[in-house]
Chains A and B, each alone.
Chain A
Amino acid sequence: MTARLFIRRKTSFPLFEVNLLEATDEQLLEISREMGLGLNVQEMTAVREYFRSRGRNPTDVELQTIGQTWSEHCFHKTFKGKIKFNGKTIDSLFKTYIRKATAEINPNWCFSVFEDNAGIVKFDEKYGIAIKVETHNHPSAVEPFGGAATGVGGVIRDVLGVWADPVACTDVLGFGPLNYDYEKLPSGVKHPKYVYMGVVAGIGSYGNNMGIPTVNGAIYFDESYVGNVVVYCGCVGLLPLEKFRRNAKPGDIIVLAGGKTGRDGIHGVTFASAELTEKSEEVSRPAVQIANPIEEEKLKRGIIKIRDLELASAITDLGGGGLSSAVGETAKRFNCGAVVELEKVPLKYPGLAPWEIYISESQERMLLSVPPENLKRVLEIFEGEDVEATVIGRYTDDKILRIYYQGEKVAELEISFLFKPPKTLKIAKYKPAEFEEPSFPEPSDLTETLLKLMASPNIASKESVIRTYDHEVKGNTVLKPLQGENAGPNDAAIIKPLEDSWKGIAVSCGMNPSYGKIDSYWMAASAIDEAIRNNVAVGGRRIALLDNFTWGNPEKPERLGSLVRACEACYDFAKTFDTPFISGKDSLYNESPLGPVTPTLLITALGIVPDVRSAVSMDVKAPGDTIYIVGKTFQELGGSEYYKLNGLIGKTVPKVRGDQAKETFKAVTEAIDLGLIKACHDLSEGGLGVAAAEMAFAGGYGMKLDLRRVPRENLSRNDFVLFSESNSRFLVEVSEKAREEFEKLMEGRVYAAIGEVAKVPRLIIRGLKGEIVVDALLSDLLQSWKQTLSKGA
């Protein structure tokens, strides 16, 4: 007869002891499954060993705490674990590539990176900028509105969690094609259109309600996102550096502030670290939290006041893992133990078991540690904002976590054990994709092709979505996401966060999932290049990067192999461009009945604009001005929107020639500083053709270009010159009187004057034989560009 696995303790509330000591290996897994712990045999065995040494069985509270702390979501086992790849063993992707790049670049303007909820860089002598980008893919797949809204709420709390006042939000989204055939949808997968509407509404709702402008973002469509929606939410904040407090000590009081705790968001982290299945909806619906942005708005006010008065010694948000993560991580960080009395936690409704209270991920909650002498004032401040704040325990000096419920001790764990999960060893393999470079005849009419490209979902205007986000609130948005009456797409947004300074923050992003299908190394390199060049295009410099990985199941060697390759590129190009990583987040296990997600790396770039008055927008300004292309064009159409339009993928994925790219970026920055550039736009999806069209209709003037003058290599087809997506290129507008100075500055760099801004409202492009290959009315280009997503969400 086998032993009973769960033994109810004789308490007035539900509390179970779990019979680990007598459990077989098989039963260990059964326990993990039954309790939703998400731990494997190796980890469960380590837990059993620990309790064997204690001579007792764990409680459900203890096992759940361990399950949360050791989850992929909280502990990043894949990025911190060991990986066998190409005959070598990588000890932590994070340390080997991401953190290493930052350490080697070691800029003196990094204030605190990879330490807290968000990275912090210096803005000026007094202020710092905090930034974080989160993934919220899994919850958004199950409940699009709530998943996306709480993604925004969570990332805002990350920024509050380093004492910063949020000043801007970003969001980058990936959906399946909106016209996806309903018949092809497997059971349990929601239609992309439904997901799109819900996610967009959720993001807008949270940011708008909080009064934080959503200033930058992107939307991509890809078949692989049908089953795996991609939701990246970012937040930028500002903090006076001298108010940054991080010195909790034994005796400090643990204060839980904000919303009440309920059953929403139970096992969010374990859910986020598993593949989505047909049953995700049914099983994991409770894993998605419920958003209440007004609660967070009030909470923010209280926190900023407490920060300014320096009343607390540490702060962290309650996100994945709820109290279990927040308390445990704070205790670990400050070398303390903690005592928590769970019955003090304010609940939405009665009946929660202690373990549910401890791991619930209910939203809008923050954890502060407060020296006893300041407690009264802290509670008063929260009360003044109508925010509930409760003392739930205190930090101790013995490095042991003790949890009580109504006087009964329900958990006692050593902090050192809790944060030392067994290191995983995963196997990675990489095999280049076996795509062929297609061959097809050059179309005779490229006007038609360009019009079609303008309308392709990844290029088409996202105005209908952007206008549902308030990008003006706070009145500090100097460069807006949409430029001019025709709403041209600016490359980056600029915020002027301080009243008495002209200094600005430029936020941009880069993401190229299509290249990820061919080669994840060059995809990552391209994303870095794109994020940086978008920033450079508006006048940003001194750039810091954030990495956000959305990948498939890392237990599958090929998926992990492509992840390793992407990390290699992150190291290589962060070093090349002197752009340190300061924060990041990974979302793995993005697999659904339809297969894995296309490896998708989002790079967010945070730049400084020394004087926002010199910012450059992307719209052309005056007829007669010269249009230059900066950077070289190669035959790199693999993964391009042009190939995609023809149902192709190819393999000549765009590369990044680091040294040349760096030169190009430097030149553009110099020219902007000298006031020589009137408009600047980066070349990305759709290449030269699309960038030129966007600049023209955004400014309301035509453009005449000549492809013969485009600096290029191995290119003899008009369509390829026009639509190649080679990296590190810009189109810039220079006035007649600045031409000479501009050309002098550009000497020795790859650039060329390729045409001019014209009064006639047409885009006219001459081909390599001097023939006219594109002649399109701006109004037609604009209409194609706007119609695809005009209905909005």
Chain B
Amino acid sequence: MKREEIKVCILRVGGTNCDAETRRAFQELGVQAEVVHVNDVVKRRSLLEFNALVFPGGFSYGDYVRAGAIWAKWMLAKLGGELKTFVEENRPILGICNGFQVLVETGLLPGFDGISPYPEAALATNLPPGYNCRWVYLRHENNGKCVFTRKIPKGKVLRMPVAHSEGRFMFAKEKEKRLLERLYENDQLVFRYCHRNGDYANGSFPTNPNGSFHDIAGICNPEGTIFGLMPHPERAFYWWQQPDWTRQQWMPQYGDGKLIFESLIDYLIEKF
């Protein structure tokens, strides 16, 4: 399909708050992006009008119970059928921050064996505990499966901000070794927190800002079409959003976040 035909749906509910900047990122790249309230989808729209779906950042329904949990159950209850079709047709789904939490809570990620009836992983309370807003380095780990990072070479170090209090990716302790192996086998690992030079954080704070298992910052499903990450690519899109632009003589026009949106669009143009 042509770039300008691409339609991206940025879903929102009460408490979603990163929708505008996410839409801006897509629009800057020449695709149609619309922010749609879930109430509208239920009443008069369909997810299947769109080629890609984004769960943006925020505090959906106040993040009561667990971050993302209420929105996840809501989606399955009210729009479960459409969502399943969306996934089966390999239409891409992106979850940023709260959106990542939603994708894990819906069982879409890691999705080892398709949509899981229960969460197979968790984005737990940060260690050290508390909300943390800072720029971090991410090392790209994917061998090419993830459609959201297909334009990013493996091993490249990217810079983006995180801002959350529940971002510690973890598996059940007794399964973590085996499940980590499966992530590697399926090429589901996408980003790990690292130092500026690319060395993994190895759990050290604040390089790993939340105590995430194996320094995991983002993963995709085995098909590579569903991707969730805690950092915010939409806040690392333009040069002037970078934390050090006042120090530089020259800045590239865009930040690293753009690569993710661009990869997605590239995939849509090629596959649909």
- Which A residues form the contact surface with B (CB < 8 A)? 204, 208-211, 292-295, 297-298, 384-386, 466-480, 483-484, 496, 499, 612-613, 615-617, 619, 621, 699, 792-793
Contact = CB atoms under 8 A, between A and B. Distances in A.
A466 B134 CA distance: 10
28 contacts: A208-B59, A208-B131, A211-B58, A293-B62, A294-B14, A294-B61, A297-B17, A298-B14, A386-B39, A467-B133, A469-B131, A470-B163, A472-B241, A473-B17, A473-B163, A474-B18, A475-B235, A475-B238, A475-B241, A477-B241, A479-B246, A483-B243, A612-B240, A613-B240, A619-B246, A621-B247, A699-B247, A792-B130
A631 B243 CA distance: 30
Given A499-B24, A619-B247, A209 B59 contact: yes
Contact of B15 (A294, A480, A484): A294
Most buried by A among B20, B24, B234, B247: B247
Contact of A472 (B16, B130, B163): B163
Contact of A210 (B17, B57, B161, B244): B17
Interface string B234-272: 110110110110110000000000000000000000000
B24 A209 contact: no
Most buried by A among B16, B39, B134, B237: B134
B37 interface: yes
A209 B18 CA distance: 11
B146 to A, nearest CB: 23
A468 B132 contact: yes
A384 B37 contact: yes
Interface string B10-32: 00001111101100100000000
A208 B133 CA distance: 10
A479 B39 CA distance: 36
A792 B165 CA distance: 14
A496 B62 contact: no
A384 B39 contact: yes
B234 A480 contact: no
A386 B14 contact: yes
B40 interface: yes
A477 B242 CA distance: 9
Nearest to B243: A480
Most buried by A among B17, B37, B161, B238: B17
A468 B129 CA distance: 10
B14 A474 contact: no
A484 B243 contact: yes
A297 B60 CA distance: 10
A162 B62 CA distance: 26
Contacts of B131: 204, 208, 467-470
Nearest to B130: A468
Given A208-B59, A467-B133, 11 more contacts: A209-B59, A209-B62, A294-B59, A384-B39, A385-B37, A468-B132, A473-B235, A475-B234, A475-B238, A478-B241, A499-B24
Contacts of B61: 294
Nearest to A384: B39
A617 B244 CA distance: 9
Interface string B29-72: 00000000101100000000000000001110110000000000
Contacts of A294: 14-15, 59, 61-62
Nearest to B246: A617
Nearest to A292: B62
Contacts of B240: 478, 496, 612-613
Contacts of B21: 474-476
A26 B116 CA distance: 73
Nearest to A463: B134
A469 B165 CA distance: 11
A386 B15 CA distance: 11
A417 B134 CA distance: 54
Given A612-B240, A792-B130, A484 B247 contact: yes
B109 to A, nearest CB: 23
Nearest to A502: B240
A790 to B, nearest CB: 11
A475 B37 contact: no
A475 B243 contact: no
Contact of A297 (B14, B132, B161, B246): B14
A504 to B, nearest CB: 10
Closest 10 CB pairs of A and B: A211-B17, A475-B21, A617-B246, A294-B62, A298-B14, A294-B15, A470-B163, A475-B235, A468-B131, A209-B59
A475 B24 contact: yes
Contacts of A209: 15, 17, 59, 62
B237 A475 contact: yes
B150 interface: no
Given A208-B59, A292-B62, A384-B40, A467 B18 contact: no
A476 B130 CA distance: 24
Nearest to A496: B240
A467 B244 CA distance: 17
B132 A467 contact: yes
Contacts of B15: 209, 294, 297-298
A616 B246 contact: yes
Contacts of B163: 208, 470, 472-473
A613 B250 CA distance: 12
Most buried by A among B39, B232, B235: B235
A28 B7 CA distance: 69
Most buried by A among B16, B39, B131: B131
Contacts of A471: 133
Contacts of B238: 475
Contacts of A204: 131
Contacts of A469: 131, 133
Contacts of B237: 475
Nearest to B43: A384
Contacts of A477: 241
A467 B162 CA distance: 10
Interface string B138-176: 000000000000000000000001010000000000000
A472 B244 contact: no
Most buried by A among B133, B134, B237: B133
Nearest to A793: B130
A211 B18 contact: yes
Interface string B182-223: 000000000000000000000000000000000000000000
Given A298-B14, A384-B40, A484 B24 contact: no
B41 to A, nearest CB: 12
A468 B62 contact: no
Given A204-B131, A468-B130, A473 B18 contact: yes
A185 B164 CA distance: 35
Nearest to B14: A298
Most buried by B among A208, A466, A471: A208
Most buried by B among A294, A295, A499: A294
A385 B243 contact: no
A467 B163 CA distance: 9
B62 A472 contact: no
A483 B242 CA distance: 11
Contacts of B16: 211
Nearest to B24: A499
Nearest to B64: A294
B66 to A, nearest CB: 15
B172 to A, nearest CB: 29
Nearest to A613: B240
A473 B241 CA distance: 11
Most buried by B among A472, A484, A612, A621: A472
Contacts of A472: 133, 161, 163, 232, 235, 241
A340 B24 CA distance: 43
Contacts of A478: 240-241
Contacts of B133: 466-472
A604 B183 CA distance: 51
Contacts of B57: 473
A621 B248 CA distance: 9
B180 to A, nearest CB: 29
A48 B132 CA distance: 56
